[in-house]
Amino acid sequence: MKLDGRLNAMTVDVEDYFQVSAFEGVINKKDWDSLSLRVGDNTHRLLDLFAKTNVKCTFFTLGWVAQRCPDVIKRMVNEGHELASHGLAHRRLTTMTPEEFREDVTQSKAILEDISGVSLKGYRAPSFSVNDSNTWIYETLKDLGFSYSSSTYPIEHDLYGVPEWPRFKYERKEGITEIPIPTIRKNGDNVGIGGGGYFRLYPYWLSKKRILKFMEQEPHPYSFYFHPWEIDAEQPKLSDAPWKSKFRHYVNLSRMEGKVTSLLNDFNWVTMQEAYDIK
């Protein structure tokens, strides 16, 4: 029996272990094609899990990954999941000019739509890298035909975060719907509960308690995000990355799939478009 009756959004940011922002300083993008590609097999594992639990998901996918794993993209669409853009090659928006961003998203959208045969409505910025310095991205997304973005996390964090921005779905003046990553309020601050490293770090009972607190306090849908590499405890380990980055990336990888399975069984999950009524 589900713990809450509302429909919530399950999302996966489709990128490989060597593409995360935390490893930018130790892995050169020019070397990506020489590294073992694991994202395809890991995403197929997630698709198997979603099929088993009858869950539909939104896959925010890199164009770089789609070019190398077209079978995964086609399976996502064939099995009724939503395909959305995560950009071309996981470059943070805070490092781009407006022209570079337009080219990045244009290429990503074209690649994903050509392989899948469907039109994309959603976009998520790598590492939630939208803030007060680059709100021009919304005009570009509107120009390129997107309907919504899920690119902001209203928390304090050393790598990202816009704590003063809205916590819930809202319409931007540019004509784009922004759907922030979920938070709860604690001692006057926003606390992240959307997934990723927080979910791997804490025991499942605590994560479930925090999600239920959100549901008790707010009438809005909850959304969850994670990555295919988070269920891959056998991925190559990078010894020369900073200690904090390694801890965040590798903590509890072997337990993640079991936690996600519990999450899928405890709550109701659909795509972003369905949960947030995106037209």
Indicate the pTM of the whole model: 0.96
| DSSP β-ladder status, 223-226 and 7-14 | parallel
Dist. CA 273–CA 279, nearest whole Å: 7
- pLDDT for 196 equals 81
- The domain segmentation of the chain, as residue ranges, is 7-275
Confidence category of residue 163, pLDDT binned at 50, 70, 90: confident
- Each residue of 186-221: pLDDT tens digit? 888 998 999 988 899 999 999 999 999 999 999 999
Which of 36-45, 152-161, 188-197 reaches the highest mean pLDDT? Answer: 36-45
Mean pLDDT of the chain: 95
Q: What is the pLDDT of residue 174?
A: 97
Cβ neighbours of residue 147 closer than 8 Å, sequence gap 6 or more: 121, 122, 176, 177, 278, 279
What would the CATH number be for the domain defined by 7-275? 3.20.20.370
Q: Determine the pLDDT at residue 162.
A: 87
Q: Which residues pair with 10 in a beta bridge?
A: 224
pLDDT (average), residues 148-172: 87
Distance, CA of 2 to chain centre: 24
